Structure 1
């Protein structure tokens, strides 16, 4: 692009210094949004590093920054994930990490750059946002702007959806985040259903002494439960190891129930404390006192919310009449144990709009949709 400093420039990220700037763009663009929570820069640097994130072993990626008059005012990524499904037999590339000032030229330039990169590599379609993978942050916030995001969920400006649609993108799927007031007891009928099957099931906490074994069990159930769902990409063994290490400091074994039916593990749920409550005023920095504040809030003062990012029941069990209580059993176990730890609400997210069985189950316990995230697509 032009060297004139008043003109918009799109800069490919190639150095550590540029990556630092790339990470800080959302905090600059959304500085005046009271609901925006700056992510921890150290965590983001690892997530975007091929050395640390095993996602890069099966994906090609490029990042760009939009600048004007020496200011960073937008960013985008383009990815080709070799494990992602090709949609209707078309080679599909992804975009992600999109943020920009409310300016048509910024969005047009960023998308033109990402689209050209994908087109040059043979992609016929672009889908996103994926930050970076469907197993990380997915979708653009299009409803629910008045509440801060939970752990590992995005928060976007109100204008972003319109700016993306103006580039020729259309909705391919909506994803829902449900909020569940766990101070309310579940319906009595539901408890009678669960109690009727007592004796056939047991629920145990994650066994930290056999952590690796249980993480592998959870992954196996997850990959079985979600196979066939739109956009599904199974976790690779390297990604499982990475996730297991990353989540270990946040995991409370009692909040990771594993359900066994007739002695075999068939379902699990994971509730994480809402880290965003503890980091909202750290401005993405853990130094000099960030670590101390974070540990105090998580371990001592406690947080009031949690998120269930992962849950699954083996398909063979989900289709069995008796074992159909297992999803309810898992949610009720997490509700009670989270309540004991001082939580008041948990987010169950994200759920595909057309996943009627899961949505029905969540709505039966009393959870309500409070945020909608959208995935877009465009032919190249």
Structure 2
């Protein structure tokens, strides 16, 4: 059977061909949650990464049928920040076809080497705070909002193609039980003069977002792979969050009127998106809206505390408020993710309050 690697253009037709291929890969995987495919096409064509990097899309064809896809890219913001020339890959999908995977990566690696890269890291779709990592366990559980899912054989395909583990990211699960020590810490934190944990104000979402961005860029400065958000990346993120954020699940902690910490949890819309089956029209939007009312899980996506205010119980107090408000909304559990394995302080806090590690996402690397 003939195998061919095709270099795609940045045309809408080519990108649609690239994106929609995954429908065939996941036909027999009941825990796969189809993305809204049209939004993925838009993200690749017009998303904020296009202002801070360059990309190339490839597909592998066997007898004229796509059997694998791959994006390779250079993130100029990352490489400038770290003074390196790192290559990346993302949007990887494939049937269990090692020959095709080896061939498509060989073509992608050639593209990166021509641009001076000596290694390739991924999967990242496209940046570290977009979808990241290869699922390596818990294949019998649906992914939560903004997290990926893949067949179990992907790890074998990538390892056989020469990739090795670079770093793992963890997802934790928490029920609505509030241990007594959490209540005591929460009371102690809120008794401090000038300390307030308040809900975000949707009517002032832009100014609230700027306060969160300021904290985020400081609090996450030492996190693995962190690159400060550009204004365009941040505005794109805020635009997406505006549609799904619930004020009762998003908080800013202030001390004497100054924002010092934040925590944002989102209703796990994936439970509704799955019903839409990848399309909002003609009936997907109705199914999505009806299903949103039934969701009992949230994803705590990001939390940050300024360095000088850490280890004082603020993180636990914000989780306490998330649980209390979540119970009012009928929420029964929260996914807390993703936590990079090097962030042992946050993992320790989560485990202390009763969170259970239940998923692992892996970033892999290969010298080229």
Band the TM-score falls in, shorter-chain normalisation:
over 0.9
State the alpha-carbon separation in 1 of the partners of residues 267 and 4 from structure 2.
Answer: 40
State the alpha-carbon separation in 1 of the partners of residues 367 and 82 from structure 2.
Answer: 12
Residue 7 of structure 2 is matched in structure 1 by 12
Q: How does 1:323-342 map to 2 (within 5 A)?
A: 324-342=312-330
Q: Give the deviation of 1:199 after TM superposition.
A: 3.1
State the alpha-carbon separation in 2 of the partners of residues 85 and 62 from structure 1.
Answer: 17
Residue 379 of structure 1 is matched in structure 2 by 367
Gaps of 5+ in 1: 1-5
The yes-or-no answer on 1:78 pairing with 2:66 is no
Q: TM-score, normalised by structure 1?
A: 0.93
Residue 306 of structure 2 is matched in structure 1 by 314
Secondary structure, counterpart of 1:197 in structure 2:
helix
Q: How does 1:147-186 map to 2 (within 5 A)?
A: 147-182=141-176, 184-185=177-178
Residue 31 of structure 2 is matched in structure 1 by 35
Is the 2:185–2:317 Cα contact (8 Å) retained in structure 1?
no
Secondary structure, counterpart of 2:303 in structure 1:
strand
Deviations 1:309-362 (A, max 9, x none): 11111112115xxxx211111111111212211221111110011211000011
Gaps of 5+ in 2: none
Q: TM-score, normalised by structure 2?
A: 0.96
Secondary structure, counterpart of 1:265 in structure 2:
strand
Residue 21 of structure 1 is matched in structure 2 by 17
Deviations 1:240-298 (A, max 9, x none): 11111111110111111111123321111111111110021322111101111212222
Q: How does 1:138-149 map to 2 (within 5 A)?
A: 138-149=132-143
Q: Give the deviation of 1:39 after TM superposition.
A: 0.6
State the alpha-carbon separation in 1 of the partners of residues 213 and 155 from structure 2.
Answer: 33
The yes-or-no answer on 1:230 pairing with 2:218 is no
Which segment is superposed worse, 61-70 or 214-223?
61-70
Secondary structure, counterpart of 1:303 in structure 2:
coil
Residue 3 of structure 1 is matched in structure 2 by none
State the alpha-carbon separation in 2 of the partners of residues 359 and 87 from structure 1.
Answer: 26
Q: Give the deviation of 1:132 after TM superposition.
A: 1.1
The yes-or-no answer on 1:49 pairing with 2:41 is no
Residue 283 of structure 1 is matched in structure 2 by 277
Deviations 1:148-168 (A, max 9, x none): 100110101101001101111
State the alpha-carbon separation in 1 of the partners of residues 233 and 189 from structure 2.
Answer: 35
Deviations 1:11-52 (A, max 9, x none): 2221211211211122211210111111101221121123xx
Is the 2:118–2:367 Cα contact (8 Å) retained in structure 1?
yes
The yes-or-no answer on 1:268 pairing with 2:256 is no
